[in-house]
Amino acid sequence: MIAPDELALLRCPTPRCGAALRDDGAALGCASCGARWPVKDGLPQLFREELVRGNDRLLRFIYDRFAALHDVSVQVLIPLFQTEGTERVLREAYVQRMELGALRPHTDGSSVRILEVGAGTGANLALVRDALPRDLPVEYWAMDLSAAMLAQLRQRVARDPSVVPGDGRVRLVMADAHALPYPNGSFDRVFHIGGIGGYRDPAAALAEMARVAVPGSPVVVVDEQLDPSRSHTLYHRAMFRAVTFYDRDPHCPREHVPAGAVDVVEEAASRFFYCLSFRMPA
């Protein structure tokens, strides 16, 4: 069974549907289009397998098999490949763009909602927690397409529940970033770290993040790009090519930011990573 407060926010991801879902104990069903979505190990499976193709399928295959090594690899390889900085320095750079300290309680008493698209192993949980105002009522929602990565996230929370921002619960969903199973304007902050370069349609993913964000709130996206303002050695270029083997042209997808977006900022978070932020006006 899915918790009632979670079910209330979930929507059918079938294109042009978006209706509310009902939990019949065996699956989540849509009364509008008739689609049914399985629930496995307490995780709603809100995506169509036939749409997971190309790099989406390749990267999920890799993450599912090497999830247990993911965090250690990132901690070691980021400074080794870039020859500078640490994982935490990189993460703190983009957390600032999320403007978490500016969040305030809702006047109607409802919790502030934060969505991490492609949450992986939950490496951002503690950083978000530390950047939030103290005692702010927060719901943390996390979605990913890799069951193994979400299993690692669950283990992280089990080892140290205090890493979870807000009420201590992470609302987990297996979903496709190209069709987020949430209503329009339902999250006060939306962010995504380290995966959009491998998405089959970055423009669609950015449009979905913009759609579910509260108008005027920052949407923050981070992934690989060689900092264009700096010179790079042959070593840097070779290492960057090794970690972005799945992408012919790793770059900031600024050209895919939804039409009408304001406060569009592209900046280097480190030698190998950009940080893209924007807002959708009301």
What stretches of the chain show up as alpha helix (H) in DSSP? 4-7, 55-82, 87-97, 125-131, 147-159, 202-212, 234-243
Whether 85 has a pLDDT exceeding 70, the answer reads no
Mean pLDDT over 2-22 rounds to 94
pLDDT at 83: 63
Q: What percent of the chain has pLDDT over 70?
A: 99
Q: Domain segments of the chain: what residues?
A: 4-38, 50-279
pLDDT tens track for 146-201: 999 999 999 999 999 999 999 999 999 999 999 999 999 999 999 999 999 999 99
- DSSP β-ladder status, 27-30 and 36-40: antiparallel
| DSSP-derived secondary structure for 154-211 | HHHHHH-GGGS-TTS-EEEEEE-TTS-SS-TT-BSEEEEES-GGG-S-HHHHHHHHHH
Which residue has 């247990």 as its token pair? 68
pLDDT at 88: 75
Nearest one of 41, 15, 17 to 30, comparing CA atoms = 17
Instruction: Give every CB contact of residue 194 below 8 A, 6+ residues apart in sequence.
Output: 118, 120, 222, 223, 224, 273
pLDDT tens track for 204-245: 999 999 999 999 999 999 999 999 999 999 999 999 999 899
pLDDT tens track for 236-266: 999 999 989 999 999 999 999 999 999 999 9
> What angle (nearest 5°) sits at the alpha carbon of residue 193, between those of residues 259 and 201?
45
pLDDT at 91: 81
Mean pLDDT over 80-103 rounds to 82
Question: Lowest mean pLDDT: which of 34-48, 64-78, 100-114, 266-280?
Answer: 64-78
What's the predicted TM-score (pTM) here?
Answer: 0.94
Q: What is the chain's Cα-based Rg? A: 18
The whole-angstrom separation of Cα 81 and Cα 159 is 30
Average pLDDT of the residues of the chain = 93
> What angle (nearest 5°) sits at the alpha carbon of residue 163, between those of residues 160 and 168?
95
The whole-angstrom separation of Cα 215 and Cα 150 is 28
Fold assignment, 50-279: Rossmann fold (3.40.50)
Whether 23 has a pLDDT exceeding 70, the answer reads yes
Nearest one of 91, 111, 99 to 218, comparing CA atoms = 99
Q: What percent of the chain has pLDDT over 90?
A: 83
pLDDT at 93: 84
